[in-house]
Structure 1
Amino acid sequence: MELNTITYNRGTKAQRILLLGPSLGGNSTHQWTRVAGELIDDARIVFVDLPGSGLGPVWDDADEPTLDAIAAGIADAARKAREEAGADLPVYFAGLSISGATGLHLARDYDDLFSGVVVVASAATVGEPARWIERAEQVEATGTQQLVDETTKRWFTPGFRAEQPAVVSIIMEALSSVDDHSYAQLCRALAEHDVRADLPYITTPLLLIAGERDTSTPIANVELVAETAPRASLHVVAGAAHQVPVARPVETANLIRSFITGNVASLVVSESSD
């Protein structure tokens, strides 16, 4: 699977690469740009588009709807980013929601390529398989516009929606404009996602970032990953719902910076809660 990528700071002298992946129905550039701005001197940053969103091509049905297929595409993008950089730089990945789930597949299967993976608002299982299949069929029939109102309430707290309506509008526009079949195939991939049995054997360093008010990803599921994967750590971001990088970009960036630089003692700057 070939995924579209956009390099944010091509001229940087940073000695590491960070790929950033979006949520289901999300636009990576929109969801991660403020975080990327904070990390502009820390890593060569590459936004990754999932099929059918952003500038990504639609889902190619030659690919099975699995997160393994997405992970293979991200791994290829990582290799290309390293080639473009012209150096054997360490590579990291940070993914939100479905991309965070995919990050666990990367950590499991590509430990020779990725020096660390950041899983944001996701876990070893996500939701119920039957519900994902139902949503896939629903979207194939009537599109994603019907999902916008309910998803907005899950993705953002009432306070953030009131304070930042323009930001919320930009993020939700991506969901309403995503390719329906591609979105449905990603739902089917989430239905198959379950790496709980693999967690004890994942030796790639993991940083788990969870939103305190995220109703989409139960904290118990995130804690399971943190407690089972041998090199995992967990940070809960106060006041944030599902879209943690959008609602808390500075804190998210500081957590990622600490992780990719190995400076675990660096200060995390708190942002006002909703």
Structure 2
Amino acid sequence: MPDVPLVLLHGGGPGVDAVSNWAATANRLPFRCVAPDLLGFGTRIVEGPDGPRAWARARADQVLALLDREGLEVVNLVGNSAAGGAAALALLAAAPERVGRAVVMGGAGTGPLPAEVPFYDEPTKESMRATLGRLVADESVHRDLLDDLTRVRFDQALRPGAEKAFRSMFGADTAPLDLTTITTPVLALHGERDRVSPVEVSERLAAALPHGRLAVVAGAGHWIHVDRPDEFCRLVEEFISA
């Protein structure tokens, strides 16, 4: 489906936005890419609901409104981790006719919540750097990138309302999404060396989806598109274009 736009939905770490999340790969994918800031991040810091699933539904509604404004009847999706991935799954459940194929990364928020809220319990540049360092397989390979992102995301994470929105994403929640109702073809990508979410989360996700597939990327951490950009682009292109 080379003529169908590809919507890139970023991850959910503190201070993230679409530009910084997709800088390494957006221009390398052979599709017209649309990459919005999701609710709660970047230019879209807002008060929202409590709990990750409620936020996922709100972000799915946000993406649907974007598609309507842009006149996009059908798109493909790439959803990164517990923000973008969860929003992608919620969108597939709510409006399957609007999505041809979807790629989700790092478990798409279907695993357990982290034991601690990242960064905000200790809002320092050192804490941000440590938070970002866990997202790659080998920090020494990406030292300059991580240093640059630390400066950008530290400032963005301290914008008015950002902490309140972020903390509410870890609140009480409703029943989980019934993955068996999602009939869209979905590729679940997971880094072999992911230090945020174990591979088993994506194994369970792919097994629960009626048309789910799993690809484990050797040598990659949670940020597959940063650790293995060539393989990431190849896998996305092959799956979306099938």
- TM-score of Structure 1 vs Structure 2, range by shorter chain: 0.7 to 0.9
**1:44 aligned to 2:22?**
no
User: d(CA) in 1 for partners of 2:224 and 2:180?
Assistant: 26
1:187-226 residue CA offsets vs partner (Å, 9 max, x unmatched): 4335556775501111111111101111211211111111
Q: Is contact 1:95–1:102 with CA below 8 Å preserved after alignment?
A: yes
1:135 corresponds to: 117
User: d(CA) in 2 for partners of 1:144 and 1:116?
Assistant: 39
**1:74 aligned to 2:63?**
yes
Q: Is contact 1:144–1:175 with CA below 8 Å preserved after alignment?
A: no
User: d(CA) in 1 for partners of 2:202 and 2:164?
Assistant: 24
User: d(CA) in 2 for partners of 1:191 and 1:218?
Assistant: 22
Partner of 2:96, secondary structure, is coil
How many equivalent pairs are there? Answer: 232
TM-score w.r.t. structure 2 length?
0.83
2:5 to 13, 17, 27: 17
Aligned-pair distance for 1:261? Answer: 0.9
The answer to which of 30-39 and 201-210 deviates more is: 30-39
Q: Is contact 1:107–1:114 with CA below 8 Å preserved after alignment?
A: yes
The answer to which of 64-73 and 226-235 deviates more is: 64-73
Aligned-pair distance for 1:146? Answer: 5.9
1:70-115 residue CA offsets vs partner (Å, 9 max, x unmatched): 111122223333x2xxx74x30111211211221111111212111
Partner of 2:168, secondary structure, is helix
**1:96 aligned to 2:86?**
no
| 1:1-274 alignment runs, 5 A limit | 15-24=3-12, 25=14, 26-39=16-29, 42-51=30-39, 53-54=41-42, 56-59=43-46, 61=47, 63-65=48-50, 66-81=55-70, 83=71, 88=73, 90-97=74-81, 98-123=83-108, 125-128=110-113, 131=115, 135=117, 139=120, 143=123, 145=125, 147-158=127-138, 161-180=139-158, 181-191=161-171, 198-262=178-242
**Unmatched tracts of structure 1, length 5 or more:** 1-13, 263-274
User: d(CA) in 2 for partners of 1:45 and 1:107?
Assistant: 18
Aligned-pair distance for 1:124? Answer: 5.1
**Unmatched tracts of structure 2, length 5 or more:** none
Partner of 2:79, secondary structure, is strand
TM-score w.r.t. structure 1 length?
0.74
User: d(CA) in 1 for partners of 2:193 and 2:173?
Assistant: 23
Q: Is contact 1:53–1:174 with CA below 8 Å preserved after alignment?
A: no
